[in-house]
Amino acid sequence: MSIDSHISKRKISELVAALPEIYQPIFGHENEFQDAQRTCRERLEQVVTLYSVLSNQLGRALNVLDLGCAQGYFSLSLAALGANVVGVDYLQENIDVCQALAESTGLSNVRFETQEVSDLISKIQKDQYDLVLGLSVFHHIADRSGHDSVVLLFSKLAECSAVAVVELALAEEPLPWAKSLPKDPHATLEPFSFIRRLRETKTHLSDIERPLFVCSNRMVILRDRVFTFERYTKSPHPLAKDGPMGTRRYFFGNGILIKQFRIDGQLAQHNIEEITSEFDYLSRYSDLLEDTPLPLHFEKDHYHCVLARELVEGELLIERLLSGAPVSPIELISQILDQLCALEHNGLYHTDLRTWNVIVTASGRYSLIDFGAIRTTPRDCAWPSDIFVSFFCFLGEVALKSTASPTPLRTPRIHYAGLPDPFASAIRRMWSSPRSEWSFSSFRDIWLSLLPCLDSTDQLSLTPCEHNGNAIWALEIELFLSHLLTLVRDHNEILAEQQTHLSSLEKTAHRETEAIARSVETFSTHFTESIKDQDLRIRADVHSSIAAVSDSMNLKFSKEMSEIDLAIEKVREENQFSRQQLLERLSEADGSFSARLDQISADTTAMLQREITILNDMIGSVRQSVDVSESRFRGELTKVLGAYAELEAKLINHQKLLSNELSSMRIVALTSARKLQALQLSSSRLRQLIRECEHKQSALAVRLSEMKQELSAELNEAVEEVRDSVSALEDRISQLALPWWKRWRRLK
């Protein structure tokens, strides 16, 4: 057992040593390999907490996909908790380490694959995975294929998986991929309905911390609670469009409403006050009004406030008014007045009484909602700030069954002129009483006193009352203001359309710029590679030609030299044979001479002379043979030298041919360089066109800003004129009312 363990550790050490980088801690060997680039501890705590919450919610172990698993630290940690994990990475060295770690720890519920993240996501089936991890992976895809491709991948993940935990790189990072990322990381996660930022963590690449998100299209995942939902919206009502700058989301499911407000932007304080006020009211006054929901959960962190409460089933009043569904104005105001009086009795006021904050319940009852707008100060959240004057506007909208957009201002219906009874009479009586006596209770008394005077049938008929000159004058002022607001709204819509179009143009220009840059970069890369390949081919051809010529010359030269060597060897052998024969004969002559000298002394001189004569003849023949061999050798040597000169001439010709080929190749390379220079010139012209487009966009933005300023100035002037007119009207009313007041005092 210890031997196997030792072998396993040695194998893991070898595999870790082969890694290009140790990005994560090595699971189970953290103390042995302490040079990991990221600690991963903070992120693992968040992932483990989410896993526990989701596992408890589903009542089983989760199926987990770890995209870009690196050395498998998160995959193996979740597998140790019982999860069924699939880890994916494009680098085979990482997968080898992961598989060895899984084998050494005995975890059979985890497997690893070598695969590209984009390819795997395109193959995911619906509900194949409960939890998907994508930690610092997608910025590489954005840099390679563009930001839109990442959004498409998230769309597939949002559709097929239950929950995703994602860590995103930021555009502020001083790194190459930053140019491909949006300024707000939420734009990348737009395919998800629920997006919650968990924390920021440091990286080894820069001082900028990266955000960690949990996302889902099915669940709201909080610290220790999970709520499922069927639908969600960013707008609380039809006229709100994208809500307060897109910082709020509303989730509906199983009789529960979950509100999620972001508190990390410009509207942070406003969002905090509203959602905490709603939670406080529901916690303290749940029995004050009928149909008040109970709070279920509330939590707040550095980035979000989330409130879960019971859902008040029904239809918004604004939706009924816009659809033309039947609405009973008399019954509506009577029920809303009862609720406003109950709040007033407890020192509370609804500061945002609008048609979208009244709901028609399933039983047909009209009830107040938006409990975050209930405050202790009697001041409306918008114009008009007076809580009762704002209520008069609400009465006008209900009486006329029409509601306009609240942007930029609410439509002024603060006077009774133009309204039918009993609305006109009730508002006229309130205006006639001192402001210090105004209250919802007093208005309810006036309202109830007018109801018996109406012609009551199955459906109350609202007949307009006659008005004096002052009322008509006030009505004209309101009509003028309404017309002015309509013009402002139309202009704002035009500006919004232009801004949308400009934004679309900017996005299109950005995409086209990125595409052109990628195309130029790709073409430049391909062209450079083509030039390199062509240069390598030319060099290879030249080298092969030179090698072939050299081999041919060497072979021929070797053959000629072999022939010369054979000829020389033959001459040497012949010469050696003649000398050997001479020596043998000399030895024989010397022996016979010595023997005969001992035996015959008389004829020694004669025999010696004969032998000398024979010897001289033999020497002459040997010399002649040597001369013949020497002349033959010189002839062979002359032939060899001639062949060598011929080979040298051929080599010079081949060198000239190679020089000509090199010259032609230089011409081709020069032509290619000129084409590349022309391409670079075209690229610079294209960049110049892009800069001109950017200048035009800047000029357009400046013009839009000037138009906004001009419009704001005109609106301010119009508002000042209206204020002057209202002031003059008040003075005129005072002048007209003072004599009547004095007469009444005298009569009294």
The one-letter code for the residue type at 468 is N
Q: How far apart are CA 506 and CA 500, in angstroms?
A: 10
Task: Kindly report the number of other CB atoms within 10 A of residue 620's CB atom.
Answer: 10
pLDDT, residue 593, reads 47
Contact between residue 132 and residue 65 where contact means Cβ atoms under 8 Å apart: yes
Beta-carbon-side half-sphere exposure of residue 456 (alpha carbons within 13 Å) = 7
Backbone torsions φ then ψ of 90, nearest 5 degrees: -80, -15
Q: Give per-residue pLDDT as tens, 159-168.
A: 999 999 999 9
Backbone torsions φ then ψ of 249, nearest 5 degrees: -140, 145
* DSSP output for 232-280: EES-SSGGGTTTTTT-EEEEEETTEEEEEEE-SSTTHHHHHHHHHHHHH
Return the residue matching tokens 């405050």. Answer: 375
Q: Which residues of the chain have pLDDT under 50?
A: 1-7, 456-464, 469, 593
The one-letter code for the residue type at 190 is E
Q: Please, which residues have CB within 8 angstroms of residue 182's CB and are 6 or more apart in sequence? A: 147, 171, 188
Give, for 93, the enclosing helix (H) or strand (E): helix 92-105
Cα-based torsion angle of the residue sequence 498, 503, 505, 507 in order, rounded to the nearest 10 degrees: -170
Cα–Cα distances (Å) from 279 to 340, 424, 496, in that order, read: 19, 37, 35
DSSP letter for 191, please: T
Q: How far apart are CA 356 and CA 732, in angstroms?
A: 37
Nearest alpha carbon to residue 47 among 83, 21, 22:
83
Q: How far apart are CA 422 and CA 461, in angstroms?
A: 10
pLDDT, residue 619, reads 63
Question: Residue 530, Cα to own-chain centre: how many angstroms?
Answer: 33
Q: Please, which residues have CB within 8 angstroms of residue 546's CB and are 6 or more apart in sequence? A: 658
Q: Please, which residues have CB within 8 angstroms of residue 353's CB and are 6 or more apart in sequence? A: 336, 340, 368, 380, 390, 391, 394
The one-letter code for the residue type at 53 is V
Contact between residue 406 and residue 489 where contact means Cβ atoms under 8 Å apart: no
> In the 3-class helix/strand/coil scheme, how is 609-620 assigned residue by residue?
HHHHHHHHHHHH
pLDDT, residue 618, reads 65
Burial of 645-660, coded b for 16+ CB within 10 Å and e otherwise, reads eebeeeeeebeeeeee
Q: How far apart are CA 343 and CA 360, in angstroms?
A: 19
Contact between residue 26 and residue 37 where contact means Cβ atoms under 8 Å apart: no
Question: Residue 231, Cα to own-chain centre: how many angstroms?
Answer: 25
Contact between residue 683 and residue 520 where contact means Cβ atoms under 8 Å apart: yes
Return the residue matching tokens 């019954």. Answer: 331
Return the residue matching tokens 């020389």. Answer: 568
pLDDT, residue 369, reads 93
Peptide bond into 384 cis (omega under 30): yes
Instruction: Please report, in angstroms and rounded to a whole number, the separation of the first and last CA atoms in the chain.
Output: 113
Query: pTM above the 0.75 mark?
Result: no
pLDDT, residue 729, reads 73
Task: For the chain, state the CA radius of gyration.
Answer: 50
Task: Kindly report the number of other CB atoms within 10 A of residue 306's CB atom.
Answer: 23
Q: How far apart are CA 444 and CA 397, in angstroms?
A: 18
What sign for the dihedral angle of Cα 159, 160, 166, 171?
negative
pLDDT, residue 70, reads 94
Contact between residue 185 and residue 166 where contact means Cβ atoms under 8 Å apart: no
Nearest alpha carbon to residue 116 among 149, 78, 84:
149
Nearest alpha carbon to residue 86 among 64, 108, 71:
64
Beta bridge partners of 310: 256
Beta bridge partners of 358: 368
Q: How far apart are CA 79 and CA 110, in angstroms?
A: 6
Q: Please, which residues have CB within 8 angstroms of residue 401's CB and are 6 or more apart in sequence? A: 321, 327, 329
Cα–Cα distances (Å) from 220 to 15, 234, 308, 709, in that order, read: 41, 15, 10, 42
Q: What share of the chain is helix, strand, coil (3-state, %, to 5)?
A: 60, 15, 25
Contact between residue 375 and residue 301 where contact means Cβ atoms under 8 Å apart: no
The residue count of the chain comes to 748
> In the 3-class helix/strand/coil scheme, how is 95-151 assigned residue by residue?
HHHHHHHHHHHCCCCEEEEECCHHHHHHHCCCCCCCEEEEECCHHHHHHHHCHHHHH
The one-letter code for the residue type at 567 is A
Would residue 72 be called left, alpha or beta, if left means φ above 0 and alpha means ψ between -120 and 50 degrees? left
- Can you list the domains of the chain with their CATH numbers? 2-227 (3.40.50.150), 229-311 (3.30.200.20), 318-467 (1.10.510.10), 490-747 (no CATH)
Q: How far apart are CA 414 and CA 384, in angstroms?
A: 9
Q: Please, which residues have CB within 8 angstroms of residue 110's CB and are 6 or more apart in sequence? A: 72, 75, 76, 79, 84, 85, 86, 87, 102
* DSSP output for 185-220: GGGTTTT-SEEEEEEEE--SS-SSPEEEEEEESSEE
